[in-house]
Amino acid sequence: MKDHYWRAISIDSIDPEYFPSIPLFMKSAGNYVLYKDAQRKFSSSDRSRMERNGIEFMYVRSGDMEELSAYMEKGLDELLNNDDLDSARKGKILYQTSINYLVDAFEAPEQAANLERCRQLVRHLMHYVAGDEHALHSFQGVVAHNLYIYAHSVQVTALNLLAHEKLFQVDPDELVDVGVGSMLHDYGMIFVTNEILNKPDALSDVEYYKIKQHTQKGYEFLMDSHHFSDVSLTIVRHHHERYDGNGYPTGLKGDNIPRSAQLSALCDMYSALTLDRVYRKAVPHQEAVRMMREESGKAFNQQLLEHFIELVSDRKE
C-alpha cells in the first residue's frame, strides 16, 4: 500500500482521554502493523511504552482522518486550556491539528475553501504564539515523514502572526487574514508534480520554472473561490518577491512589495533553512541568521530583516 494512504500522527497529539475509536498502526521495516484496533483505547501505558522505545509517531489510515480531524479541532479549546498539559505538548497538538487541515486542503482542493476551519486554527495559533515565549520550540517535533510542506506552512504561519503582531501591532481581524494567507501560501504546490517536489538533486531550468509558477497558480486558484481577503491573497502571490526586484511572479521592488509579503518572505526563508528538506538538512538558528543577513538589501529590507532576527532570536533563548 502506498504511503499516501497513511497519515503520521505525533504521539504527543494522542490524548488517551479524548482520542476517538479508530485503529492505530506502527511502521516497521516499511510495513504498517496494527497496534490497536478501534475497540481498544489508547492508554497512558501505551504512551509510556512509545516514549520508552523512542517512538514519536504512529499512523492512521487516511479514511479515518475525517473523524480524527474533527476530534482534534473540536477539542482544541479544552486541550489548550488544560493546565495539566505543558506548553511543548500543547504546541505539538496545535501544530499537528493544523497539519491535518493542510493535508486535507492540499489533497482535496474543495477543503481549501473551508475558510472558517482555517480561520479557527489561525485564531488558536495567534493565541498560542502570542502568549507563550517558548512557542517556537514546539515546531520541530511534528516535522517528519515527508510532511515538510505542511509543517513549513504551519511554521510560517506562526512566525508571520508573531512578526505582524509584535512589530506592527496589527489588529486581530487583519492578523487572521495574515494567518490564513500564511497557512496557504504554498498552496500552488498542488500544481507541481511530486517528482519535482521530492527531487534530491538540483532542479533543471524547466523544473525550477514550474516551481516558480506556484505563487501565481495558488493565487489564481484561491482568488477564483471568492472566499479569501486581499491580505491573504497578497501573501500567497507575493511571498517570493525580492527587495531588489529580482523576485517573482511580478518583480515588485522595494517597498512596492506589500508589508505582509515582505514579512512572509522573511518567515518563509527562516523556516526553509531551519527545517529538514529532501535535499538538505536543517541549519541551526545562528547559521540561518547569518545566511539571511547575506541577503540584506537584496532579498530583504535591511531594517525589517534586523527587526525580524531580533524577534526570533529572543524567542529562541
pLDDT tens for residues 144-153?
444 778 889 9
H or E segment and range at residue 158: helix 148-168
pLDDT tens for residues 137-191?
665 544 444 477 888 999 999 999 999 999 999 999 999 999 999 999 999 999 9
* Predicted structure pTM score: 0.87
Assess whether the previous peptide bond of 23 is cis (omega < 30° from 0). no
Alpha carbon 153 to its chain's center:
3
Residue ranges and CATH numbers for the domains of the chain are: 1-63 (no CATH), 75-316 (1.10.3210.10)
Cell numbers for 185: 501560501
H or E segment and range at residue 288: helix 285-293
- Provide the pLDDT for residue 317: 57
The CA distance from 213 to 145, in Å, is 25
| SS3 of residue 241 by DSSP | coil
pLDDT tens for residues 96-141?
889 888 888 888 777 666 788 899 999 999 988 887 777 776 655 4
